[in-house]
Every structure is written in C-alpha cells, then in structure tokens.
Structure 1
C-alpha cells in the first residue's frame, strides 16, 4: 500500500511517499500543511512526483504523526448506532444522543492541535480523574484547504466515558487532553481507496500479553457519509493548512471495561493501515507532548 508520510532523516523533517518498504521525498513540499494547502489535483500531482526521487529504506527514517503546523484534528460523534447506544447507556441526559444520531446536523468537535497528536508506537493516556477511559477506533479523512478529501488515516479518539456521561458540557474535558489523540503515520491517498464506505475496522486491547477486549465493525454501518461530515466541518470556517476529520466509532466496550496503564491498543482500518499505542498515565503523556512542542 502507498502512504503519504512525514518523516525525520538526518535531523530534517520531510514529506514523502512510503511504498514497498521505502520512502521517497515529495519534491517541492516542505510540510504536510503546505501539501494540504493545495487543491486535490495539485496535491496529487506533487505526491506522484515522488516516483522519480531517490528511495530510502523505511528502517533508516523515523515516521512522525501525519500533521504539522496549523493543521487541526476534528472528530465526529454518534455516527454509528452502537455509538448512540453507548452514549445513552453512560449518560444522565440520554435523549440528546438519540436526537443527534437522527438529526441532519452531525456532532462535530475539535480534538487536537498538530503538536499534541501522537502516532504509532507513542503513548496514549488515561486521565487521573476518569474511572472509565476507552479507545475509539475510527477512520479519519484528511481534508485539503479546498475541502476535498486527500486521503484517509487511522485515528484513536481516546475518550473518558464517565466524564462525558456525567454532563455533555464536559465533552471537551472527556475528549481533549494529553495523549487523547493518536493518528497512524501514513495517509492512504483517496484515489487509491475504492470505497471508503465499505472498510472493515477492528480493535484489540492487549493486557499482560492477553486480549482484554476486541471488536470489529465496518464503515458501511455509518449513518453519515464522509462527504456530508466534511461539508458540515467547512460550512462556516476555513482550514488554510487542511484538517483531519475522524468519522466516529462503531466499537465501544461495555461499562465494565476501562483502559489501564500498560495496555496496548491496536486499531486496524482495512486498506488504510494499523495504529498501535501503549497506554500510560497523563503525566507521562504531558511530558512527551511538551518535549515534542520544543
């Protein structure tokens, strides 16, 4: 599979194309935000221009989160029936989740700035004031500044279910904290994904070497389409360096499950990629995020 990636080599950060175990730089592109600032045709032409560049084995570079600069990560909620059921189960104000599931307008919320995003192998976290934290495996659409879908990646929209369930106005605290947003390093070009509405998604949580939870779903079970979600995202604001929009989860563990320090979460989206992250406490995630910001 071909992926567009950010990577570090010899101290330099570049944008490249990963294919068959090797990375080729995208010529004339200094950052992912710069690439996503272009329209889809221009961005695709730039990516295809990597074919003539010198390849470097992927083992000789460090893959980074696929966002930088002013690119924002947003997310969608209650786009699957299972997500609606889970929100109703956990919430003290149950009817709002049924209403938003059926409404024309989707639930969209800000998730992360670029510098807080972690990628494959880096830690996600549980809040110290949450007793019920879960991974939320999702297909994420990578959108250009012209509101066109450039590609897809894997997102883990880590969430504190008990905080959101206590009061919907606590959603930002349940969803936005250090270690709460993970994206796979590779962006699968949209022109290589035949049908984003028919992709299998799987989740596995490993604890002490054994499977503590696993589940699967398909984007075919989404009530809303990716174009519809993107249209609502850009309806009243601009994204000059593009955006990543995670499309919601259809896999939610029961109320008897929570992530623990030491767990490993693995999310796979068919035709897109796999994302693996160890689970830590927020203190560790905060230190890592601050170090990355410097």
Structure 2
C-alpha cells in the first residue's frame, strides 16, 4: 500500500494511492489507522509533500555499500552500522528545491532507501524489527562533501535545510530483497544497483539504532548510498528512483539571501 501526504484546496491530508487517485484518510495512518473519508482526489490535482515528517530525528547510516566505501577511498566498510544524525529541519518533499549553502563549494547527491519507523522502539531485536517499521520511502542524503572532509564530524555537512528530500510515497509492503535504486542527474544515470548490496541490512540497522537511542514514530532511517555519488550545481534536477516505491525528484538552486 502506498501512502501519500499531500495538500489540496489549502488543507493537508494523508491518502492511499489508488491508480491515478488518492483515497483520503481520516488522519495520520501511523496513529489513526487506515479509515477513509470516502473522498477521492486526483493525484494530478494534489501537491505531494514529504510523506513522513520526523517529529524527532533522521538517522543516517554511513559507508553501507562496499562500492561507495571504495569510491570514497576506504578499504572496507565498518563492522557495525556507522550512525549519524540529520535534523528534522533538513527534510523536504518531492518537487521541493535543494538549496546549496554559501558555506560549501561541493554539494553531492546520495540516493538512498529510507525506513520509516511506525512505533516507539528501544532495544528491538533484529528478528522483531519489522514490527516497528511503518514502511519505506525514497531519500536523498544531500551532503556538503568539502565540509564533511574538513569537519571532525558530519553534522554541518549533512544538516543544512533542504538536505534531506524524501518521498514521494511510503510503501508499507515493500520487499527490500527485490528492490533496486537508481539516481539520475538531468536524466543521466549516476547510481544504479540492488538494495541487497547493503552491508548492514534493514533489520540489523533498526536493531542497532534502537540499542543506542529510542526511535519514535515518524523517525526516518537512511540506509546508505551505493557508488556513483557526485556534485550537483544550481539548475540540476536530481531523480532518485526505487522500484516498487517511486521516484523522488528535486531541482537544485544556488544560495538564497
């Protein structure tokens, strides 16, 4: 089931994607279930928003694909998931603009699968991880690469406003073992590969992260990026597609005053 968060006629709703329509839900399905209002709105008449707004945090996993570790100059991926945080203020939705900050001269795209947490989770075992996952969406872990190299930790490089596009939908029945990810910039393929190339899988990531801090409903976990990351500049359009979920598309602009 694909879930959208969208605006229509000045109001924000959640809806189930049904062909070319959105079946409007009575509230946030994470908390109020999937009861519908009976109203249908054409997708073409809705403005899609970030499908999940983390009330708490975005958790990132670094160096989780061997080929990406190698392209960044490393020899081997970490033996445990390498965690970092992005503020929830970095989250934007499909079609929203990635704004390049004045502080950086090299901002890169990083297409990723994102886990959306659906219930409070602390010290969840890997074999029970599925119980706390609401679904999956597409993300772009935008990174100021020069700041990532210069700073002793990654908060500034990963945390600018607009540096975490997510969407267009949350898929509640997604099979990670059958998914592929593709990132294009201006229509040119930059990243492509199966999600099974992740070093640390979804269950392990959720278990590990929940052993460190409590995960809350709406929290997003970014699962890492495959090889092919590269710089984006003003005027570019970045598309991240995951089979079975959809395509997240975002234009890029220069710094704003």
**Paired position in structure 2 for 1:154:** 138
Contact 1:179 1:282 (C-alpha < 8 Å) held by counterparts:
no
The one-character-per-residue Cα deviations of 1:172-203 (angstroms, maximum 9, x if unpaired) are: 111110221100131011xx22x303311111
RMSD: 2.2
Q: Distance in 2 between matches of 1:244 and 1:170?
A: 20
Q: CA deviation at 1:277?
A: 0.7
SS at match of 2:70: helix
Q: CA deviation at 1:71?
A: 4.5
Contact 2:239 2:250 (C-alpha < 8 Å) held by counterparts:
yes
SS at match of 1:248: coil
The alignment status of 1:178 with 2:161, answered yes or no, reads yes
SS at match of 1:233: helix
**Paired position in structure 2 for 1:259:** 232
SS at match of 2:87: strand
Q: CA deviation at 1:116?
A: 3.8
SS at match of 1:274: strand
Structure 1 unaligned blocks of 5 or more: 89-93, 285-294
Contact 2:54 2:219 (C-alpha < 8 Å) held by counterparts:
no
SS at match of 2:211: coil
SS at match of 2:204: helix
Q: Distance in 2 between matches of 1:3 and 1:274?
A: 13
SS at match of 1:127: coil
Q: CA deviation at 1:73?
A: 2.0
| Structure 1 residues 161 and 69, CA gap change in structure 2 (3 angstroms) | closer
Structure 2 unaligned blocks of 5 or more: 122-131
Which structure is larger by alpha-carbon Rg, 1 or 2?
Answer: 1
Q: Distance in 2 between matches of 1:69 and 1:131?
A: 28
Answer 1 or 2: which has greater strand percent. 2
**Paired position in structure 1 for 2:170:** 187
Give the structure-2-normalised TM-score.
0.87
Q: CA deviation at 1:135?
A: 0.5
Contact 2:90 2:159 (C-alpha < 8 Å) held by counterparts:
no
Q: CA deviation at 1:264?
A: 0.6
Q: Distance in 1 between matches of 2:191 and 2:228?
A: 8
Q: Distance in 2 between matches of 1:283 and 1:170?
A: 25
**Paired position in structure 2 for 1:131:** 105
SS at match of 2:83: strand
Q: CA deviation at 1:59?
A: 2.1
Which of 24, 37, 41 is matched with 1:56 structurally? 41
SS at match of 1:258: strand
Q: Distance in 2 between matches of 1:134 and 1:240?
A: 28
Q: CA deviation at 1:129?
A: 2.8
The one-character-per-residue Cα deviations of 1:216-243 (angstroms, maximum 9, x if unpaired) are: 1111111111011111222133234331
Contact 1:145 1:243 (C-alpha < 8 Å) held by counterparts:
no
Q: Distance in 1 between matches of 2:8 and 2:67?
A: 42
> Number of matched residues?
247
| Structure 1 residues 9 and 71, CA gap change in structure 2 (3 angstroms) | farther
| Structure 1 residues 69 and 176, CA gap change in structure 2 (3 angstroms) | closer
Q: Distance in 2 between matches of 1:267 and 1:232?
A: 26
| Structure 1 residues 240 and 133, CA gap change in structure 2 (3 angstroms) | closer
Give the structure-1-normalised TM-score.
0.77
